Amino acid sequence: MSFFDKDGNSRHDWNIFLDNFPTIGVFKLPHDSNKAYYDKNVASMLHIEGDNMSKDSFYALLDSLNENQIEGYKNIYMYTAGGETSYIKIKIVYDTDYMLGFVQDVTQIMEARSHKDNAKEYDMLTGMYTRDYFIKRVRSMLSEISGTAQCCMAAIHINGIERVDSELNYDKTALCVATAANAIKRFASDNVIIGVKSYKDFLVFFWQMTKSEISDIMKKMYDAVSRCKLTDEFGNTIETRSEAYTITAGYCWYPSQAATIDMMINYADFALFRAKALGSIKREFSAEEYVAECNSYSDSKLLTGLIDENDFSYCFQPIVSTVDGSVYAYEALMRPKNSSPLEILRIAREHGRLYDIERLTFENVLEIISANRARFGEKKIFINSIPDSMITEYDFNRLCEKYGNIMPQLVIEFTEQADLTGDKIASLRHLFKSKGCMIAIDDYGSGYSNTAAVLSLQPDVIKVDRSLIADINTNVKKQHFLTGIIDFARLNNIKVLAEGVETYDEMSVTIRRGVDYIQGFYTAKPQKEIVPDIPDAVAEQMRMLNMCRPEIKQARDYIVHDGCEEHLDIEKMLSDRYTGVIVESAVAHLYANGCDVMSFVIKTAEGSKSHIILENANIKGALRQCIRLGENSDTTLEIKGTDLLSYDGISVPGSSKLLITGNGNLYIDSYRNDGCCIGSSYNDTFGEITIDINGNVELQANGDHGICIGGGVSPCETPIKLLNGNIKMSSTGKDCIGAGSCDGSCGVETGNATIDISCSGDNALAVGSLCGYTDIKADGTTFLIRSLGERAGCIGSLAALDGSTPSMINIKNSTLDLLLKARCGSAVGCRKTACDTVISDSDITVHIEGDAVAGIGSAEGKGSLLIKNSDIKSSSSSGIYSLEIGFMNKGCIINSSTINSHLINDPDYHEPSRLMQQN
């Protein structure tokens, strides 16, 4: 909008505005002219003639104004002309071609404020009595009461203002507070005196009124506040996430319950405290409750005062680099007034206000950093986040809008005692990382599930708890434990910080063991002032100790490139600081001569076709599997000598193939929770696995979901082939599998192998699928299977499936010795789903025990069964809903076979015991 035409005259549309808003005007000083132009409102406010004057005269007028600026008010001046004194606000805008000034007459506003300030009676924001004047007024009224007149003091809290305060800036929050306060203020009268305690708490004194009158006014106050519509000074609705405001009130009676005004206010506050605790709208003071809850009330007042007044201060303790003794970061430590941090956290937890402290901590610390950028520089700032009350995504994003350039300096500490494995934590971690923040686990070693917490959170820093650092110089076990933490961290690119270092000896051990950072009283105590450096003598000690520290183990892989064939000594590779090997389309002969267990990882490249010869190796996986196949890879693993893999075994992704061959012995002990000896975890896909070995393979899987061979589900039609060798499997857990899948179809083919499987768990299956279609082919195989569980099976599947395609089991030329102990299940067959089973030229010994179990067939499902040219020895110690051979309501075909030494040729065979039970 243009205010003046080219000749300096006010434009017509601007003149219309001036007629409607006589207290606002504009002047203009073009750079290429010696004149100053102004509209009629400016001429009226400044008591000058015409619509222009020389620049020199106008500058002199502005200089006279500048000499009378009102202290404490920006751009507001006292101006006296024509015998009148007014208050003028001027805002100057500079452009390349002119200077533009906006003038406003604010005399009425300033006089109103001056009257209230001088009287010291009214709160500027709400227009209500200040607390001091309220007390003075009520005390005066009490002195006039005589006889048995009754009065009431109420403490009123507006619910919802706290949420608004956390969402909006100061000006908008003030408007919201004023709106809610005005809803209460309109009930003020000669008999109802209202005063301000804080921006969301008010005092109301009811003078010589009946209980019913007071109750009616309180109800009307509640309704009025609930109907509040929050608008700005222009009438626009202010959007917030808060629901409608409400009030909570506590009250007491004078003189029956309280004899003085101080007692009235205290008792009304206590009644309000109880009302909020009980979720009531209003509550009367109770002397019995006051005695019983006095301590809790005192705690509440202390906490409320701290939070409402934001009366927190913070000290900053340097975190020091062990390389050169320089300050790497500071930790912000809360220091509440008149109490300890732990005591305030205890009280806040009891009163449900931990989140208020969490939010204020982030807001206050970020404000301190913003105000002291030169002192903090680019150093990191550690902030503790409260377990179970961590800052919300909304509040964090709001802080990012205000302090976005500071966020990459933050290191947010999650306490290790909290549950760090949930979806909420994962979401917050992603949010913090997206804003450039780092993550630290605090108090590491003092809580539980350390490894699980680190794997889930993937922190940048681990802070080792003081309990592990104290007297570490005299405790060898602590030293070994710290070394394990450091090795673990280095392999995963995590920094280690030692907390609570208080002596030189503790510092010496932690640095020699390889920690990255030190924090403690020995290097620097927490202080309110930002300490740029630690004492020179201590920094020099750290530099000298650093010269003696061991080499730090970093993740480092040796690569066997395409087309190469290399012989690699694992021990020598470790001494050369390698932590693993990556084999491309090449041949790698890895040997170790039977040395002690080594932390080492063997990986194949994505899309590679590799041949790995493993000889006399004893390898422990670092957090994951010892051998990890790349996607779309084809790997032959040749076993020589005796090879041991522990913690977790061999990872075979869904797109990859693995052939295990050779004439040696392979032992795998998978004790990682949800681990797998060969394949994948229970919720991942696994590829094609073939064992064709002239030796022994022994697999042991222990965990919630223990799998020896297989995984969650496979895209391959027959992913598991056990063709040759002596293969022994043992699996225990909630869900356990010998060879097969947890969820989905799974084909298993066995050949001239001896297979010994033991499974024990809630859901236990030796060969097949826990929940899915299965296709099992055994030819020339010797099985020895023991399966025990709530639901269990030896060969087949456990869970029911929708669909018309039955599972398939084909056993020929094989010998089976099966034991099944379960509440329900099948030794050979599918528990509830349809299954077609063919057994030929085989010898089977089967014993079952349970409520609803089957030897060969199903006690709960359906399908078909053909047994020919076979010898079956069946026994049972099971319930009436079990059967040894066949199905509940269907016969099976038995040709030229013996069952418990009886030759059977029957196209519709029914188990005799079952017929007798049915008759």
pLDDT digits (tens, 9 = 90+) for 666-676: 999 988 777 89
Q: Would the pLDDT of 230 be above 70?
A: no
C-alpha to C-alpha distance for 895 and 904, rounded to whole angstroms: 6
Extract the tokens encoding 792. 């269990």
Q: Would the pLDDT of 118 be above 60?
A: no
Domain count, the chain: 4
Of the candidate ranges 8-12, 383-387, 905-909, the one whose mean pLDDT is the lowest = 8-12
Q: Please, are residues 845 and 859 in contact by the beta-carbon 8 Å criterion?
A: no
Residue located via tokens 């305060």: 165
State how beta strands 35-38 and 52-54 pair. Answer: antiparallel
Q: What is the CATH number of the domain that holds 256?
A: 3.30.70.270
Quote the mean pLDDT of the chain.
85
Are residues 94 and 137 located together in one domain of the fold? no
Q: Is the dihedral of CA 502, 505, 506, 510 positive or negative?
A: positive
**Element of type H or E holding 250:** strand 246-254
- Which of 580, 664, 669 is closest to 630 using CA atoms? 580
Q: Would the pLDDT of 555 be above 70?
A: no
Three-class DSSP category at 666: strand
**Element of type H or E holding 507:** helix 504-513
C-alpha to C-alpha distance for 45 and 24, rounded to whole angstroms: 9
- Which of 775, 794, 763 is closest to 857 using CA atoms? 794
Domain encompassing residue 206: 120-285
Residue 521 lies in a domain: yes
897's CB contacts (< 8 A; 6+ apart) are 867, 868, 869, 870, 871, 872, 903, 904
Q: What is residue 1's predicted lDDT score, i.e. its pLDDT?
A: 45
Q: What is residue 919's predicted lDDT score, i.e. its pLDDT?
A: 31
Are residues 224 and 371 located together in one domain of the fold? no
184's CB contacts (< 8 A; 6+ apart) are 156, 194, 202, 204, 221, 224, 225, 247
Are residues 454 and 480 located together in one domain of the fold? yes
Q: Would the pLDDT of 799 be above 90?
A: no
C-alpha to C-alpha distance for 15 and 876, rounded to whole angstroms: 106
Q: What are the beta bridge partners of residue 852?
A: 824
Q: What is residue 918's predicted lDDT score, i.e. its pLDDT?
A: 37
C-alpha to C-alpha distance for 360 and 368, rounded to whole angstroms: 12
C-alpha to C-alpha distance for 740 and 787, rounded to whole angstroms: 14
Q: Would the pLDDT of 36 be above 50?
A: yes
C-alpha to C-alpha distance for 729 and 733, rounded to whole angstroms: 14
119's CB contacts (< 8 A; 6+ apart) are none
Q: How confident is the model at residue 637 (pLDDT cuts 50, 70, 90)?
A: very high
Residue 472 lies in a domain: yes
Q: What is residue 625's predicted lDDT score, i.e. its pLDDT?
A: 83
Are residues 746 and 888 located together in one domain of the fold? yes
29's CB contacts (< 8 A; 6+ apart) are 36, 37, 55, 58, 98, 99, 100, 101
Of the candidate ranges 246-255, 537-546, 755-764, 819-828, the one whose mean pLDDT is the lowest = 537-546
Residue 281 lies in a domain: yes
Q: Please, are residues 720 and 689 in contact by the beta-carbon 8 Å criterion?
A: yes
Extract the tokens encoding 16. 């219309």
Q: Angle, nearest 10°, between helix axes 354-371 and 393-403?
A: 10
Are residues 174 and 57 located together in one domain of the fold? no
Residue 648 lies in a domain: yes
Q: What is residue 916's predicted lDDT score, i.e. its pLDDT?
A: 34
Average pLDDT on 697-725 reads 91
Among residues 548, 579, 609, the one where a domain terminates is 548
- Which of 783, 838, 847, 846 is closest to 816 using CA atoms? 783
Higher pLDDT, 909 or 637: 637
Q: What is the CATH number of the domain that holds 320?
A: 3.20.20.450
Average pLDDT on 755-771 reads 92
C-alpha to C-alpha distance for 319 and 519, rounded to whole angstroms: 5
Q: Is the dihedral of CA 850, 851, 854, 860 positive or negative?
A: negative
Average pLDDT on 409-424 reads 72
Q: Which of 183-192, 370-379, 614-623 has the highest mean pLDDT?
A: 370-379
Residue 588 lies in a domain: no
Are residues 395 and 269 located together in one domain of the fold? no
Q: What is residue 95's predicted lDDT score, i.e. its pLDDT?
A: 81
Q: What is residue 197's predicted lDDT score, i.e. its pLDDT?
A: 84
Are residues 92 and 175 located together in one domain of the fold? no
Q: What are the beta bridge partners of residue 788?
A: 760, 821
> Largest Cα–Cα distance of the chain, in whole Å?
132
Among residues 92, 112, 132, the one where a domain terminates is 112
Phi, psi of 495 (to 5 degrees): -85, 150
The vertex-126 CA angle with 124 and 128, nearest 5°, equals 90
Are residues 214 and 82 located together in one domain of the fold? no
**DSSP string of 736-754, one letter each residue:** EEEEEESSS-EEEEEEEEE
Phi, psi of 416 (to 5 degrees): -70, -15
Residue 573 lies in a domain: no
Q: What is residue 262's predicted lDDT score, i.e. its pLDDT?
A: 86
81-114: per-residue pLDDT in tens? 766 788 899 988 878 888 888 899 888 787 776 6
Q: Please, are residues 228 and 185 in contact by the beta-carbon 8 Å criterion?
A: no
Among residues 72, 88, 112, the one where a domain terminates is 112
Q: How many CA atoms lie within 13 A of 683 on its CB side?
A: 3
322-337: per-residue pLDDT in tens? 888 999 999 999 988 7
Are residues 682 and 804 located together in one domain of the fold? yes
The Cβ of residue 887 has, within 10 Å, a number of other Cβ atoms equal to 23
Higher pLDDT, 449 or 36: 36
Q: What are the beta bridge partners of residue 318?
A: 330
Are residues 396 and 437 located together in one domain of the fold? yes
Are residues 147 and 72 located together in one domain of the fold? no
C-alpha to C-alpha distance for 559 and 603, rounded to whole angstroms: 9
| Percent of the chain with pLDDT strictly greater than 90 | 37
Average pLDDT on 687-715 reads 92
Q: What is the CATH number of the domain that holds 21?
A: 3.30.450
Average pLDDT on 120-128 reads 78
Residue located via tokens 């965990």: 703
Q: Angle, nearest 10°, between helix axes 341-350 and 294-308?
A: 110
Residue 323 lies in a domain: yes
Average pLDDT on 861-876 reads 91
Are residues 91 and 136 located together in one domain of the fold? no
Residue located via tokens 């800036």: 169
**Element of type H or E holding 357:** helix 354-371
State how beta strands 201-206 and 151-159 pair. Answer: antiparallel
Residue 704 lies in a domain: yes
Q: Angle, nearest 10°, between helix axes 261-278 and 294-308?
A: 90
Q: Would the pLDDT of 167 be above 60?
A: no
**DSSP string of 332-397, one letter each residue:** EEEEETTS-HHHHHHHHHHTT-HHHHHHHHHHHHHHHHHHTHHHHTT-EEEEEE-TT-PPPHHHHH
Q: What are the beta bridge partners of residue 284?
A: 251
C-alpha to C-alpha distance for 415 and 749, rounded to whole angstroms: 49
